[in-house]
């Protein structure tokens, strides 16, 4: 006959990895040998240093906390979570202490029942290995912007951007007392296109390039017998040795320069040890951000921009595959996205008449994920425009909207689809003068309905991308001063931030969509990313910390402002990175925005990472509830 | 039922030990006196449940016996009992309605073999069950019909323990109907799966029992003698 107890255990085990990866017979066999253990609240199951019995555990009901020696909790295991797997993988004592955090029922699995399946099921080994790593405290992906050692990566697939470039070749420099001619001779002798100008202690003061010689000396009226300091650019941007190509490239893009001086401590106060030019970087790679940006700047149509953006997609894919750190990827990609928007505006201005827009003071604002510098895959456009009302210019609003129409059309062609809710600068409601915007904000903040709050969550992540940046700061200042008079608004924003509770128990309660097109898939944006974005925005606004939009950076900034919550904010920043990574990866797999994920498409590693990423959501929401005293409102 | 119990006790006291069947002789030989000074977690308990053809002690019979052993808050599934008793009598429609056991499943072991297995499993452990009196009475009837006699083990009723937890000074004043297994499952958060199978109910009762003992220990019930009060 069928033994009901064994079946009860079987019905439970079959739902959870690693057992779910096994055939039915195997699970039944394991189930028939299980030890059921009741562990009352606060009871210790095992301690650090104890030799494990030949058992490992799965929580059937209740919860177990794993602690480090200092008492810090490393993991919360609840229904379906496996822990204590050390005896399966190594004969060594426990590294963590396990204690029940409520009355708990454990199913203890005998290792000898399980071991035979290990060798035949590589997936199980992978699952256990990742579980094991989590238990040891390495919760998240490695963050490597430092050079990857060659042995680790496939040589065909090496990510050149991550290699440190040899910046220590003997630098050619000239002294500040040298004449232009002396410097030019040095450059000619060494066949170099630039030369660093140093003081007596070989500290870099300035830099002279071929271009300076051409424009200022040959075509200009400075004589070659004059001092080199007359034509040099100063100061020189200095870096430390050991930066990756990509990091150097970012610095060049940001400063719009082609050369960096390498010094002992990375400042102009120390001795010059090398020079890196953009050319040095370019020869080492093909698809690289700086070349892509150059292509963008040369583009004259949406079609050309689209071709470049497609290449960017390939670059991101390569980054994701190589597990390059997310802050780095988002930084590169948002720089590129910005360039595309800027170029789209330039093309549009040119088409409509450059002279018209020369006189209009305006600023193009990126909203939503692009505003937060988090957009990796192309999603819908969210943008707005703010201009300074000038009665001397007739129909100024129409002119701005006309420009916006052109720009959004180009962006649409590039692959950023039109916003279905029409939150674009081409919409009169999103193309307003400074005064009109202030009036709009006033209305949102003083009469906040559901729609207004939603508008705020989209708009308040704005970032100036083109034009007069001071207009954006004016808006920020206005928003903060209005908050001061209307604290209740922040409470409503807080309420909104709690609308999507953390899907904390991932294995138990995989919250999938119940209806519609995406039935049974997991909405990573709504369920996991939005709660973090909302919390970061709210806490940043409450701290009046303008100017930072990126969710990870917002959390890191908050960690500095509130050192008492340092750990939570850092966990939240890490969690957000993981979510971006998983979403992007799945977006590539399915060729869409990656928002909806089929639970079955996720491997165990991803599930595990996701589950860990949910933890800070719950804690943040609890904190928000207390801080904004939402007990009464909710 | 009380009359039957009394009869059982009288019967036991006046019986001749030499005429017992082997299973019962073995049971008596190996039976060890309980040390009531022991801590609860050192004691071995057998949590059991039976399913019967009906609720009439005279007319009805045991269909199945399920039991698990608990020591120190642990239940080893390899050390459990799940017996279907082959019934000579035709089962009533009633039992099918309650237990869903169909004829094909009623192969099982002969009453003789079931008794051997059961008495061997129980040994000298304390027996635990929910509303256990009826189960014990049915087991006694089966045992006596096959040349055995009553169980000498100490017996604990989870329904009584729950009432004792709620009203230590006078547990009997609380309504038995409020302490059904289903109600205790809800209270102690045990999923009532495979109810009305002997082993399924034995498992559930065992979980409820461990949780009850834990709560009683917080009220100072730590030794076997405290628990048996």
Domain borders along chain A are: 4-135, 173-282, 289-486, 495-627
Tell if the CB–CB gap between A5 and B84 is shorter than 8 Å: no
Find the residue in A nearest to B82 (Cα).
A3
CATH number for the domain spanning B11: value is 3.30.420.10
User: Considering just the CA atoms, what is the radius of gyration of chain B in Å?
Assistant: 17
Find, among A29, A22, A127, A20, the residue nearest to A80 by Cα. Answer: A20
Find the residue in B nearest to A105 (Cα).
B207
Find the residue in A nearest to B196 (Cα).
A4
Question: Residue A148: which region, alpha, beta or left (left: phi > 0; alpha: psi -120 to 50)?
Answer: beta
On whether the CB atoms of residues A40 and A105 are closer than 8 A, the answer is no
Establish if A61 touches chain B: CB-CB under 8 angstroms.
yes
**Dist CA A254 CA A244 (whole Å):** 16
H or E segment at A206?
A: strand A204-209
Find the residue in B nearest to A41 (Cα).
B214
Tell if the CB–CB gap between B200 and A6 is shorter than 8 Å: no
Facing A1 at nearest CB: one of B77, B80, B84: B84
pLDDT at position B128 is 97
Partners of residue A45 in chain B, C-beta under 8 Å? none
Residue reference for tokens 């990091």: A247
Pairing label, strands A173-175, A194-198 = parallel
Architecture of the domain spanning A495-627: Up-down Bundle (1.20)
**Dist CA A317 CA A376 (whole Å):** 10
Report the gap between the CA of B189 and the closest CA in chain A (Å): 9
Mutation for testing the B interface, residue in A14, A36, A100, A508 having most B CBs under 10 Å: A36
Looking at CATH, the fold of the domain delimited by A173-282 is given as CBS-domain (3.10.580)
**Dist CA B127 CA B133 (whole Å):** 11
**Dist CA A311 CA A318 (whole Å):** 11
Tokens of A38: 């009741």
**CATH number belonging to domain A4-135:** 2.60.120.10
Partners of residue A38 in chain B, C-beta under 8 Å? 73-74, 207, 210-211, 214
Angle, to 10 degrees, between the axis of helix A551-561 and the axis of helix A530-542?
40
Tell if the CB–CB gap between B78 and A33 is shorter than 8 Å: yes
pLDDT at position B133 is 93
**Dist CA A463 CA B225 (whole Å):** 74
pLDDT at position A536 is 94
**Dist CA A455 CA B192 (whole Å):** 48
Residues with Cβ within 8 Å of B67's Cβ and at least 6 positions away in sequence, in order, are: B46, B47, B48, B49, B80, B81, B118, B121, B122, B199, B202
C-alpha count within 13 angstroms, C-beta hemisphere, residue A221: 0
Establish if B186 touches chain A: CB-CB under 8 angstroms.
no
Tokens of A598: 């089929």
Q: Render pLDDT for B73-92 as a digit per residue (tens, 0 to 9).
A: 999 999 999 999 987 554 45
Partners of residue B76 in chain A, C-beta under 8 Å? 35-36
**End-to-end CA, chain B:** 23
Phi, psi of B48 (to 5 degrees): -135, 165
- Residue A516 carries which DSSP code? S
CB–CB contacts below 8 A, A to B: 65
pLDDT at position B16 is 55
**Dist CA A244 CA A144 (whole Å):** 10
Report the gap between the CA of B45 and the closest CA in chain A (Å): 14
Find, among A259, A166, A143, the residue nearest to A211 by Cα. Answer: A259
Mutation for testing the B interface, residue in A2, A4, A41, A62 having most B CBs under 10 Å: A4
- Split chain A (634 residues) into runs of 10 and give each run's mean pLDDT: 82 87 90 95 92 91 86 80 78 85 94 81 64 37 28 30 52 89 89 87 90 84 88 87 72 78 87 81 62 85 91 82 76 89 95 90 92 86 93 92 95 91 91 94 87 85 91 89 82 85 53 64 86 92 83 92 91 90 87 82 76 83 84 49
Facing B77 at nearest CB: one of A33, A39, A105: A33
Question: CA A347, A348, A353 angle in degrees (round to 5)?
Answer: 105
**Dist CA A273 CA A164 (whole Å):** 15
Pairing label, strands A55-61, A82-83 = antiparallel
Q: What homologous superfamily does CATH list for A289-486?
A: Beta Polymerase, domain 2 (3.30.460.10)
Q: Quote ipTM for the complex.
A: 0.85
Partners of residue A1 in chain B, C-beta under 8 Å? 82, 84, 105, 108
On whether the CB atoms of residues A207 and A231 are closer than 8 A, the answer is no
Partners of residue A28 in chain B, C-beta under 8 Å? none
Residues with Cβ within 8 Å of B14's Cβ and at least 6 positions away in sequence, in order, are: none
Tell if the CB–CB gap between A8 and B84 is shorter than 8 Å: no
Mutation for testing the A interface, residue in B40, B75, B200, B221 having most A CBs under 10 Å: B75
Partners of residue B200 in chain A, C-beta under 8 Å? 4-5, 8
Tell if the CB–CB gap between B203 and A8 is shorter than 8 Å: yes
Partners of residue A3 in chain B, C-beta under 8 Å? 80, 82, 199
Number of domains in chain B: 1
Tell if the CB–CB gap between B197 and A4 is shorter than 8 Å: yes
**Dist CA A471 CA A385 (whole Å):** 10
Burial string for B98-107 (b: 16+ CB within 10 Å, else e) reads ebebeeeebe
Find the residue in A nearest to B104 (Cα).
A1
Residues with Cβ within 8 Å of A478's Cβ and at least 6 positions away in sequence, in order, are: A437, A438, A441
Supply the DSSP string of A450-491, one letter for each residue.
HHHHHHHHHHTT-EEEEE-HHHHHHHHHHHHHHHHH-THHHH
Report the gap between the CA of A13 and the closest CA in chain B (Å): 14
Find the residue in B nearest to A35 (Cα).
B76
Residues with Cβ within 8 Å of A538's Cβ and at least 6 positions away in sequence, in order, are: A490, A493, A494, A497, A624
Facing B211 at nearest CB: one of A9, A33, A103: A103
Facing A32 at nearest CB: one of B75, B77, B211: B77
Facing B194 at nearest CB: one of A8, A31, A32: A8
Tell if the CB–CB gap between B82 and A1 is shorter than 8 Å: yes
Burial string for A50-70 (b: 16+ CB within 10 Å, else e) reads eebeebbbbbbbbbbbbbeee
Cβ-defined contacts of A180-187 (< 8 Å, 24+): A180/A208, A180/A213, A180/A217, A180/A222, A180/A223, A180/A224, A180/A225, A180/A226, A180/A227, A180/A228, A180/A230, A180/A231, A181/A224, A181/A225, A182/A228, A183/A208, A183/A228, A184/A213, A184/A224
Q: Which of residues 13-32 of A touch B (CB under 8 A)?
A: 31-32
Mutation for testing the B interface, residue in A5, A11, A45 having most B CBs under 10 Å: A5
Burial string for A109-125 (b: 16+ CB within 10 Å, else e) reads bbbebbeebeeebeebb
Establish if A401 touches chain B: CB-CB under 8 angstroms.
no
Partners of residue B211 in chain A, C-beta under 8 Å? 38, 103
**3-state secondary structure at position A553:** helix
pLDDT at position A501 is 73
**Dist CA A435 CA A412 (whole Å):** 29
Partners of residue A9 in chain B, C-beta under 8 Å? 77
Tokens of B221: 């019930």
**Dist CA A537 CA A546 (whole Å):** 10
Report the gap between the CA of B108 and the closest CA in chain A (Å): 8
Show the domain range for B129. Answer: 2-227
pLDDT at position A243 is 73
**Dist CA B151 CA A327 (whole Å):** 72
Phi, psi of B103 (to 5 degrees): -50, -45
> Chain centroid to CA A291: how far?
22
Where chain B has pLDDT below 70, the residues are 1-18, 88-107, 194
pLDDT at position A203 is 92
């Amino acid at each position: 006959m069928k033994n009901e107890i064994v079946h009860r255990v079987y019905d439970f085990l079959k739902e959870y990895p690693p057992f779910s990866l096994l055939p039915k017979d195997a699970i039944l066999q394991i189930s028939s040998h299980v030890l059921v253990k009741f562990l009352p609240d606060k009871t210790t199951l095992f301690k650090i240093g104890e030799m494990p019995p030949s058992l490992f555990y799965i929580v059937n009901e209740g919860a177990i906390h794993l602690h480090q020696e200092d008492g810090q909790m490393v993991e919360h295991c609840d229904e379906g979570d496996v822990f204590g797997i050390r005896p399966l993988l190594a004969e060594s004592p426990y590294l963590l202490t396990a204690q029940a955090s409520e009355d708990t029922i454990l199913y203890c699995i005998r290792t000898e029942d399980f071991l035979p399946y290990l060798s035949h099921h590589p997936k199980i080994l992978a699952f256990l290995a990742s579980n094991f790593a989590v238990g040891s405290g390495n919760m998240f992906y490695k963050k490597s912007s430092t050079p990857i050692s060659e042995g680790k990566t496939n040589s065909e697939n090496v990510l050149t951007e991550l290699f440190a470039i040899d910046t220590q070749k003997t630098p050619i420099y000239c002294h500040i007392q040298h004449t232009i001619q002396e410097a030019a001779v040095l450059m000619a002798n060494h066949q170099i296109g630039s030369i660093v100008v140093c003081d007596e202690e070989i500290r870099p003061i300035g830099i002279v390039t071929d271009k300076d010689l051409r424009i200022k000396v040959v075509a200009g009226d400075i004589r070659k017998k004059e001092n080199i300091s007359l034509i040099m650019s100063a100061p020189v941007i200095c870096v430390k040795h050991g930066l990756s190509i990509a990091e150097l490239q970012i610095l060049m893009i940001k400063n719009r320069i082609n050369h960096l001086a390498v010094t002992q401590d990375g400042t102009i106060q120390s001795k010059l040890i090398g020079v890196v030019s953009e050319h040095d970087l370019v020869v080492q790679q093909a698809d690289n951000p700086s070349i892509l940006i150059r292509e963008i700047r040369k583009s004259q149509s949406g079609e050309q921009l689209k071709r470049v953006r497609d290449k960017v997609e390939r670059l991101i894919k390569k980054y994701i595959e190589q597990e390059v750190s997310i802050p780095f990827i988002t930084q590169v990609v948002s720089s590129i996205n910005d360039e595309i928007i800027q170029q789209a505006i330039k093309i549009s201005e040119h088409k409509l008449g450059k002279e018209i827009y020369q006189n209009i003071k305006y600023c193009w604002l990126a909203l939503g994920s692009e505003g937060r510098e988090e957009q990796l895959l192309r999603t819908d456009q969210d943008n707005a425009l703010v201009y300074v009302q000038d009665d001397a210019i007739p129909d100024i609003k129409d002119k701005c909207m006309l420009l916006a129409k052109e720009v959004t059309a180009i962006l649409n062609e590039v692959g950023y689809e039109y916003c279905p809710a029409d939150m674009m600068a081409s919409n009169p409601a999103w193309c307003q003068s400074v005064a009109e915007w202030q009036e709009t904000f006033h209305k949102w903040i003083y009469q906040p309905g559901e729609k207004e709050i939603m508008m705020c969550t989209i708009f308040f992540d704005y970032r100036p991308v083109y034009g007069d940046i001071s207009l954006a700061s004016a808006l920020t200042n206005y928003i903060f001063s209005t908050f001061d008079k209307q604290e209740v608004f922040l409470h409503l924003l807080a309420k909104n931030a709690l609308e999507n509770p953390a899907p904390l128990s991932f294995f138990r309660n995989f919250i999938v969509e119940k209806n519609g097109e995406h039935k049974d898939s997991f909405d990573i944006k709504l369920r996991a990313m939005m709660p973090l974005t909302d919390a970061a925005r709210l806490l940043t606004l409450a701290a009046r910390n303008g100017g930072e939009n990126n969710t990870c950076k917002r959390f890191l900034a908050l960690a500095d402002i509130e050192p008492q919550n340092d750990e939570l904010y850092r966990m939240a920043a890490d969690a957000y990175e993981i979510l971006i990574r998983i979403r992007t990866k799945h977006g590539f797999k399915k060729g869409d925005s990656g928002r909806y994920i089929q639970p079955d498409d996720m491997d165990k590693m991803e599930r595990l990472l996701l589950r860990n990423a949910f933890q800070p959501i719950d804690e943040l929401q609890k904190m928000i509830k207390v801080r904004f005293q939402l007990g009464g409102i909710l | 039922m009380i009359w039957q119990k009394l009869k059982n006790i009288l019967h036991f006291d006046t019986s001749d030990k030499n005429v017992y069947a082997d299973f019962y002789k073995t049971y008596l030989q190996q039976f060890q006196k309980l040390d009531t000074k022991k801590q609860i977690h050192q004691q071995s308990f057998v949590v059991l449940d039976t399913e019967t053809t009906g609720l009439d002690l005279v007319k009805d019979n045991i269909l199945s016996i399920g039991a698990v052993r608990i020591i120190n808050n642990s239940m080893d599934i390899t050390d459990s009992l799940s017996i279907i008793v082959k019934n000579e009598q035709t089962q009533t429609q009633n039992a099918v309605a309650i237990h869903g056991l169909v004829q094909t499943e009623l192969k099982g072991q002969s009453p003789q073999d079931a008794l051997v297995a059961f008495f061997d499993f129980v040994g000298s452990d304390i027996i635990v069950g929910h509303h256990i009196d009826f189960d014990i009475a049915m087991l006694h009837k089966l045992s006596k019909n096959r040349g055995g006699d009553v169980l000498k083990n100490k017996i604990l009723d989870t329904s009584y323990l729950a009432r004792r937890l709620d009203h230590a000074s006078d547990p009997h004043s609380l309504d038995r109907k409020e302490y059904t297994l289903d109600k205790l499952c809800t209270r102690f958060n045990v999923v009532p799966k495979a109810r009305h199978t002997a082993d399924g109910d034995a498992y559930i009762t065992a979980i409820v029992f461990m949780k009850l003992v834990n709560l009683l220990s917080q009220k100072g019930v730590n030794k076997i003698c405290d628990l048996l009060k």
